[in-house]
């Protein structure tokens, strides 16, 4: 490992650890504390009782095991323990990217290590998204090194953290199908399903339908980002708009899976495009989602990565600063209004950058297809 990367990782990790030690983070941490208390009470109770802000427990059953593990910690140290896995996951993600992209430039990998999105989400926010992304990157690495069984296990673990990777299933299955066979697809699905189910026991057995509804039926916050925010000013039913945009995301994800794998595009590239397309169209939004494409934007190079990290980092910083009233100790997203003019504009700029990134992906797609058109 090169010295600049070691130094960058050390600096970023130290900043995250300090934030996790001296702050509570966002109200998500308080919600996690309540979920942990419910999990300690009877495990499946996590799905039966809402959090302090009325938030339902919408995480996979495996997370209950984790909450019971850290739930016995003191209230003072709980915010640290809930954020430590994300901090460690960021280190793993950076190291995996150096293996996935062997010729990656020093400045690009250092940019990944120091990016403000990871520092703010992993060190301050307090959620599991960076851990999920680590397992997704691990699955991509294992797949590209021809270890399909371990790929499925890693992907199953990603789903055990959050159900978001289900969005990537069409692309991954199409990738395996185009390079292996139907047998490879069956093996992948079987092992991933076993990992998810085995680590969901015993809670998945208590009320599987209710758990599926809680995890797959979660709608997120609408009207705070991108198209859904723009549509607030129009006489359009938010429920209808939500459903239309949701179906559009699903349809485009399926279409991209077929199109990109027919042309044998790199899976690392595909996942980045899917995440940014999701950001462009999604009616649901939460700040920690901005951590999803952090490693995958590197496929477009230094300047596009810098544009995303800068715009998303500024949006996060201004929003957390407002939520915490400049104190950076506890950030409450339930303030009314939930943003300032500055954070609102920063969010719109970030969404616009995501739109331009999608156009950049389209340009790369078109350029890559040109030789095929001429032949």
Q: How confident is the model over 137-156, as pLDDT tens digits?
A: 999 999 999 999 999 999 99
Give pLDDT, residue 369: 64
Least confident of 48-62, 176-190, 233-247: 233-247
Q: Strand runs (DSSP E) across 111-240, as ranges?
A: 221-222
What 3-state DSSP class applies to 330?
strand
Give the model's confidence band at 249: pLDDT under 50 very low, under 70 low, under 90 confident, else very high.
Answer: very high
Maximal CA-CA distance, the chain: 66
Per-residue pLDDT at 274 exceeds 50: yes
| Whether residue 361 has pLDDT greater than 50 | yes
Nearest residue to 118 via CA among 19, 31, 23 = 19
Least confident window among 25-29, 191-195, 220-224: 220-224
Burial-class residue 371 by CB neighbours within 10 Å (0-12, 13-18, 19+).
exposed
Positive or negative torsion for Cα 37, 41, 44, 45:
negative
Assign 72 a pLDDT band (cuts: 50, 70, 90): confident
6 contacts: CB under 8 Å, gap ≥ 6? none
> What 3 state SS string does 235-258 have?
CCCHHHHHHHHHHHHHHHHHHHHH
SS (H, E, C) 22-35: HCCEEHHHHHHHHH
Strand partners, 222: 284
Compute the average pLDDT of residues 78-104.
Answer: 97
- HSE, side-chain direction, 13 A CA sphere, residue 131: 20
Residue 76 has pLDDT above 50, yes or no: yes
Average pLDDT, the chain: 92
Which pLDDT does position 372 carry in this prediction?
47
**Model confidence at 118: pLDDT above 60:** yes
User: Taking a C-beta distance cutoff of 8 angstroms, is the pair 332, 35 a contact?
Assistant: no
Q: How confident is the model at residue 370 (pLDDT cuts 50, 70, 90)?
A: low
> Using only C-alpha atoms, what is the Rg of the chain?
20
341 pLDDT more than 70: yes
> Both tokens of residue 315?
């949006």
Q: What is the DSSP string of 255-284?
A: HHHHHHHHTT--HHHHHHHHHHHHHHH-SE
Q: Is the pLDDT of residue 368 over 90?
A: no
The answer to whether the CB of 305 falls within 8 A of the CB of 297 is yes
- Per DSSP (E only), the strands in 86-242 are 221-222
- 374: pLDDT strictly greater than 60: no
3-state helix, strand, coil in the chain (%, to 5): 75, 0, 25
Q: Which of 25-29, 158-162, 337-341 has the lowest mean pLDDT?
A: 337-341
- Name which of 78, 86, 105 is nearest 13 in CA terms: 86
| pLDDT in the model for residue 214 | 87
- Of the pLDDT bands very low, low, confident and very high (cuts 50, 70, 90), residue 364 is confident
> What are the CA-CA distances from residue 167 to residues 105, 155, 172, 191, 212 (Å)?
30, 12, 10, 18, 16
- Token pair 């079987």: residue: 190
Q: Which residues contact 39 (CB under 8 A, 6 or more apart)?
A: 45, 46, 64, 67, 68, 71
Average pLDDT value for residue range 116-133: 99
- Whether 375 shows a pLDDT value over 50: the answer reads no
Residue 193 in tokens: 């399903």
Range in 36-45, 54-63, 344-353 with the lowest mean pLDDT: 36-45
Range scoring the smallest mean pLDDT among 74-78, 136-140, 278-282: 74-78
Task: Give the up-direction half-sphere exposure of residue 263: CA atoms within 13 A in the CB hemisphere.
Answer: 18
The reported pLDDT for the residue numbered 289 is 97
Residues 6+ away with beta carbon under 8 Å from 131:
85, 86, 89, 161
């Amino acid at each position: 490992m090169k010295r600049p990367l070691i130094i960058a990782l050390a600096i970023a990790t130290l900043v995250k650890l300090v934030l996790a030690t001296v702050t509570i983070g966002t109200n998500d941490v308080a919600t996690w504390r309540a979920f942990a208390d419910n999990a300690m009470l009877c495990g499946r109770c996590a799905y039966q009782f809402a959090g302090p802000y009325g938030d339902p427990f919408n995480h996979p059953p495996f997370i209950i095991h984790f909450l019971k593990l850290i739930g016995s910690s003191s209230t003072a140290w709980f915010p640290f323990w809930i954020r430590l896995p994300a901090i460690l996951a960021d280190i793993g993600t950076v190291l995996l990217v150096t293996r996935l992209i062997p010729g990656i430039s020093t400045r690009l990998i250092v940019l990944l290590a120091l990016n403000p999105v990871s520092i703010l989400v992993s060190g301050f926010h307090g959620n599991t998204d960076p851990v999920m992304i680590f397992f997704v990157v691990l699955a991509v690495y294992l797949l590209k090194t021809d270890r399909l069984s371990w790929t499925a296990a890693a992907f199953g673990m990603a789903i055990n953290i959050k159900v978001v990777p289900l969005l990537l299933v069409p692309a991954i299955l199409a990738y395996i199908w185009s390079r292996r066979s139907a047998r490879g697809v069956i093996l992948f699905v079987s092992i991933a399903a076993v990992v998810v189910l085995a680590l969901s026991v015993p809670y998945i057995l208590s009320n599987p339908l209710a758990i599926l509804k809680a995890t797959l039926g979660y709608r997120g916050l609408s009207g705070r980002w991108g198209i859904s925010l723009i549509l607030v000013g129009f006489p359009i039913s938010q429920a209808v708009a939500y459903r239309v945009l949701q179906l559009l995301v699903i349809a485009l994800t399926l279409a991209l899976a077929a199109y990109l794998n027919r042309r044998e595009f790199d899976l690392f590239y595909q996942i980045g495009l899917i995440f940014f397309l999701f950001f462009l169209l999604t009616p649901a939004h939460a700040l920690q989602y901005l951590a999803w494409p952090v490693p995958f934007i590197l496929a477009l190079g230094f300047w596009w990565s810098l544009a995303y990290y800068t715009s998303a980092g500024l949006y996060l910083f201004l929003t957390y600063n407002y939520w915490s009233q400049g104190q950076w100790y506890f950030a409450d997203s339930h303030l009314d209004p939930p943003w300032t003019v500055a954070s609102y504009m920063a969010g719109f700029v970030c969404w616009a950058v995501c739109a331009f990134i999608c156009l950049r992906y389209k340009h790369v797609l078109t350029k890559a297809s040109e030789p095929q058109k001429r032949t």
